[in-house]
Amino acid sequence: MQDYIVKIFKESNRVKENFLNENLGKLAAVIDAITVALKAGNKILIFGNGGSAADAQHIAAEFVNRFIIERPPLPAIALTTDTSIITSIGNDYDFEDIFSKQIMAIGQAGDIAWGISTSGNSANVIKGLEVAKKRGLLTVAFTGKDGGPMAKMADFSVHVSSSSTARVQEAHITAGHAICELVDIKLFQKPDIK
Would residue 97 count as lying in a domain?
A: yes
Would residue 86 count as lying in a domain?
A: yes
Whole-angstrom CA distances from 178 to 26, 57, 59, 133, 141 are 12, 16, 11, 25, 16
Would residue 145 count as lying in a domain?
A: yes
Would residue 98 count as lying in a domain?
A: yes
The domain spanning residue 130 has which CATH number? Answer: 3.40.50.10490
Would residue 181 count as lying in a domain?
A: yes
Convert the pLDDT of each residue in 33-80 to its tens digit: 999 999 999 999 999 999 999 999 999 999 999 999 999 999 999 999
Q: What percentage of the chain carries pLDDT values higher than 70?
A: 98
| Cα-based angle 62, 68, 71 (whole degrees, multiple of 5) | 80
Over range 176-193, report the average pLDDT: 90
Q: What percentage of the chain carries pLDDT values higher than 90?
A: 96
Return mean pLDDT, the chain: 96
Domain count of the chain?
1
Would residue 143 count as lying in a domain?
A: yes
Half-sphere exposure of 191 (CA within 13 A, CB side): 6
Range of the domain at 77: 2-189
Check whether 171 has a pLDDT greater than 70: yes
Would residue 194 count as lying in a domain?
A: no
